[in-house]
Amino acid sequence: MRLILFVLLCTFTLPVIADVKKDSRFKDLELFNKILFLIENQYYRPVDRRKLIEGALKGMMNTLDPHSSFLDEEFYNKMEADTQGEFGGLGIEVTQKEGVLYIVTPIEDSPAYKAGLLSGDKIIEIDHESIVGMTLDEAMDKMKGKNGTKVTLGIKRNGSKKIKSFTITRSKIKVNPVKSQIVNDQYAWIRLTQFQNKASQYVENALKKIKKKTALKGIILDLRSNPGGRLQEAINLSSLFLKSGIVVSTKARDPKNETIHYVKKSGYKDLSTPIAVLINASSASASEIVAGALQDHKRALIMGTRSFGKGSVQNLAKVDSKRGVKLTIAQYLTPNNNRVQAIGIKPDIEILNLPQQWVEENKNSKAAIREKDLRNHLTSTIETKEEKELRLILQKERKKRRSSIPQKKKKLPFKKYSAKDDYQVLQAINFLSTATVLKK
């Protein structure tokens, strides 16, 4: 049986990398087989061989970037898209750094959002159990559950020494991805919370509705704390404001995995109204694709702070009928061939965070975690000259942001969010009001 297993492992791995010598791979697999033999025969109690092998595969994937993982039968069965606009859970986007779970952003109107969880919060415990030693997938699985059941998260918040417990009831989350308001009579504020199915259609409908009420002088497309979602919706949204050209392309080791996505020529378009796009450190993935496309085509002014920097492409591949692998196969490039991965989108005009109610709830510059901070992000093994220069720039930006934030913040009374009271939105309007001068 052991010999058969060894042969199967060799057969599975041989086609992966053609330029590696066969004898070298056989030696490495022989080492694996020897250790498996020792564990099975000398460990103090019987072991499950399948669990051992799956554990080894998970460990192997953990040496890659944080978005690549081995999916055992349980996880593979749960790999259903959460981008349909209706799903169960808490409603938080999380990532992992050095064994600690960080909340990238809570989805607006979700149970986590209503419970008061913030971007940058550290999840230390799940149901009073430490997350130390858990993989990202394992921690996410513990937070999932049947609708109506409760989970308690132990949260360590920046500036606080105590762990605060939040008990949250899981529910089926029906996300309305778009919120919109008319600001200062002639400016449309449209906030997209995530790129779920038909997200671009929601934005289009909101824009049409506002245009029926007023003659627009500008559009504020708010992508702050938007974690991303469907690539096709990013293309569709960009196509609302672009006439033609490239939206995004991918660069891969295998040319077969390289693609170019163009602007859709059909459908509703607004090609003339001045646009300001708001981003922050929690704007990721599809948000960065839209911001990068509109920036490179000079269709919009990008404002706020540098985005998260999640610019990699993952592919889900089945290895047998019950298990699979999620593997990073390419990186996104903006129309001007600028890389997004670990770099993010740099705003044309930087507007630092201010301690206002909405900012307090949704952003925390001092504790912001970006793609470049994650374990084994795609540039972590070999630092190029470009990446070294970027690292120094980001260090300066981080130092500047920290020095600009008050050390002690007063707790503000809660009030319903209004775009007209949002400092960054008002600054976007100030620039849009001079759009003609800027264009010249």
- Binning the chain into helix, strand and coil, the percentages to the nearest 5 are 35, 25, 40
Q: Which of 224, 221, 368 is nearest to 295 (CA)?
A: 221
In one-letter notation, the amino acid at residue 381 is T
Q: Are 151 and 143 in contact (CB under 8 A)?
A: yes
> Is 310 one of the catalytic residues?
yes
Residue tagged active-site, from 68, 285, 287, 365: 285
Give yes or no: 285 in active site.
Answer: yes
CA distance 139 to 118: 18
Considering the candidates 296, 326, 346, 422, report the single residue annotated as catalytic.
296
The catalytically annotated residue of 122, 310, 346, 363 is: 310
Q: How far apart are CA 306 and CA 343, in angstroms?
A: 8
Nearest to 332 by CA among 257, 248, 263: 248
96/369 Cα distance (integer angstroms): 9
| Alpha carbon separation from 366 to 18, 27, 89, 177, 225 (Å, rounded) | 45, 48, 28, 27, 15
Query: At 233, phi and psi to the nearest 5?
Result: -70, -30
Region for 181 from its dihedrals, namely left if φ exceeds 0, alpha if ψ lies in -120 to 50, beta otherwise: beta
Q: Are 225 and 93 a contacting pair, CB within 8 Å?
A: no
For residue 413, what are its two tokens? Answer: 């009374």
DSSP secondary structure letters along 240-264:
HH-SSSEEEEEEESSGGG--EEEPP
Nearest CA to 402 out of 223, 161, 158 is that of 158
Residues with active-site annotation: 285, 296, 310
